[in-house]
């Protein structure tokens, strides 16, 4: 047998090298066709050795031969370099789900956001020493965006559903309040009408003795006035709802107006045994509609007397506070429960269903608030709870000019 010479060995070496190169090319072609973003980086500086097209699409072109940090200016995801360092040093792979990747190809371009599922795997030699890292990732941006969009829609739908449920509750409460209001109107109108019709018939038929005629006429007159006030409240409420309620404001002293309201309520207070007290600043002046402000003070004072027991006190205060005028109506009556307090000035909320009913049609305080606001002022209410009394406070802008005023005597 003829021995193999150097030429034969050289030929075998060339064949082996060719086969190795072919396998390398085949492996390279295979890696480049993998349907995932793949890169191989060598050494502690993470020098790119291989990047397939999907990786280049995510990160950028011309990466081979560059370190990760040289390419990093285009990859603006914080913490990624530290992850590569940790995998290289510890030899432990990193597995990530929906990892955000921001890539800016040009300083003037908007950064592109991607989300990746993948692994960063250490590359070891035959001795087990880590030589580099391999990144293998799938772009799941569309899935993440779709999931986030679905979560946003679900959250938005939940928000809209909550709003709709709240509106339904409010609508139901409004309908109940209006039903109560209509029932209250029926009762409040029927009561004085029944008295007027009944006593008028008795007078017409001559069934009232002469010595009791004056008393009968007094009852008819009182109920007619009560009926007139109910109708006025309804008319004012309608004007407020349509925006047609107007006031005629002129400079005026407030003490005579407050005194007039007190005198109008005094018969009711005397009949109940409620004492009226007042402390009025005679110099308090404002630009007001006197008739409408009288309506406000009368309403507040009437409410206070109505819900103050016999032996109680209702106190009215008129004072200048800084650049405002303060009218306070305070009683030591039954007070207002905390759950009703925020709704005192709302229409239809004072009917018989209220925890601490204020009586009437439930329109007086709503009208009073509107009238005060038309004057550029504000009205508020305070009460520590049931049995602790109530204080209503009206604040109006004061006139700053000086006027000569008469002296008033406190009752």
Question: Quick one: pLDDT at residue 343?
Answer: 84
Query: For 284-330, how does the pLDDT look when each residue is reduced to its tens digit (9 = 90+)?
Result: 999 999 989 998 999 899 989 989 999 999 999 999 988 889 999 99
121 within 8 A of 93, measured Cβ to Cβ: yes
- Cβ-based neighbour number of residue 356 at 10 Å: 20
pTM, rounded to two decimals:
0.52
Long-range contacts of the stretch 17-22 (C-beta < 8 A, 24+): none
- Burial per residue of 62-92, b for 16 or more beta-carbon CB atoms within 10 angstroms, e otherwise: ebeebbbeebeebbebeebeebbeebbeeee
> What's the distance, CA 265 to chain centroid?
41
Task: Locate the DSSP E strands across 264-401.
Answer: 275-280, 285-288, 313-321, 324-331, 378-382, 390-397
pLDDT at 221: 86
CA–CA separation, 394 and 257 (whole Å): 14
Cα–Cα distance measured from residue 85 to residue 44, given in angstroms and rounded to the nearest whole number: 7
Contact 55, 39 (CB under 8 A): yes
What is the pLDDT, as a whole number, of residue 355? 36
Residuewise pLDDT in 10s, the chain (411 residues): 455 567 766 766 776 676 666 676 766 676 777 788 888 999 999 999 888 888 888 777 788 888 888 876 556 566 788 899 999 999 999 998 888 877 766 666 667 788 889 899 999 998 999 999 999 999 898 999 999 999 999 999 999 999 999 999 988 887 887 777 777 777 778 878 888 898 899 888 888 888 889 888 988 887 888 788 778 877 877 777 777 888 889 999 999 999 999 998 898 899 899 999 999 999 999 999 998 999 899 989 998 998 999 999 999 999 998 888 999 999 998 888 888 888 888 876 554 444 334 445 567 888 889 899 999 999 999 998 888 899 999 999 987 654 444 444 443
pLDDT given at position 406: 46
Q: Helix count (H) and strand count (E) of the chain?
A: 9, 12
Strand runs labelled E in 239-385: 250-253, 275-280, 285-288, 313-321, 324-331, 378-382
**pLDDT tens digit sequence for 146-156:** 999 999 999 99
Q: What pLDDT does residue 182 have? A: 77
Q: Which tokens sit at 181?
A: 């209001």
């Amino acid at each position: 047998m003829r021995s193999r010479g150097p030429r034969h060995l050289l030929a075998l070496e060339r064949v082996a090298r060719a086969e190795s190169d072919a396998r390398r090319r085949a492996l390279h072609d295979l890696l480049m066709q993998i349907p995932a973003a793949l890169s191989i980086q060598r050494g502690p500086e993470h020098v790119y050795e291989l990047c397939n097209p999907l990786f280049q699409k995510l990160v950028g072109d011309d990466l081979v031969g560059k370190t990760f940090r040289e390419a990093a200016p285009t990859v603006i995801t914080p913490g990624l370099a530290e992850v590569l360092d940790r995998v290289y040093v510890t030899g432990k792979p990193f597995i990530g789900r929906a990892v955000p990747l921001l890539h800016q190809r040009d300083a003037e371009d908007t950064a592109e956001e991607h989300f990746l599922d993948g692994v960063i795997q250490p590359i070891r030699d035959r001795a087990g020493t880590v030589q580099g890292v391999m990144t293998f990732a799938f772009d799941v941006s569309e899935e993440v965006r779709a999931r986030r969009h679905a979560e946003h829609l679900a959250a938005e739908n939940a928000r809209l559903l909550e709003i709709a449920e709240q509106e339904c509750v409010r609508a139901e409460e409004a309908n109940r309040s209006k039903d109560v209001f209509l029932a209250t109107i029926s009762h409040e109108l029927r009561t004085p009408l029944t008295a007027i019709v009944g006593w008028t018939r008795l007078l017409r038929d001559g069934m009232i003795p002469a010595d009791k005629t004056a008393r009968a006429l007094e009852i008819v007159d009182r109920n007619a006035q009560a009926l007139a006030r109910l109708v006025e409240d309804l008319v004012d409420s309608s004007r407020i709802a349509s925006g047609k309620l107007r006031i005629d404001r002129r400079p005026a002293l407030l003490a005579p107006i407050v005194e007039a309201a007190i005198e109008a309520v005094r018969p009711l207070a005397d009949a109940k045994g409620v004492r009226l007290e007042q402390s009025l600043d005679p110099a308090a002046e404002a630009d007001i509609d006197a008739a409408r402000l009288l309506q406000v003070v009368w309403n507040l004072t009437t409410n206070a007397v109505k819900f103050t027991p016999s032996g109680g006190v209702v106190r009215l205060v008129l004072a200048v506070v800084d650049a405002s005028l303060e009218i306070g109506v305070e009683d030591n009556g039954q007070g207002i429960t905390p759950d009703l307090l925020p709704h005192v000035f709302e229409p239809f909320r004072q009917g018989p269903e209220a925890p601490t009913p204020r009586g009437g049609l439930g329109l007086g305080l709503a009208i009073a608030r509107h009238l005060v606001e038309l004057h550029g002022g504000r009205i508020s209410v305070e009460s520590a709870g049931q049995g602790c009394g109530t204080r209503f406070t009206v604040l109006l802008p004061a006139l700053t000019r000086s006027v000569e005023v008469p002296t008033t005597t406190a009752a």
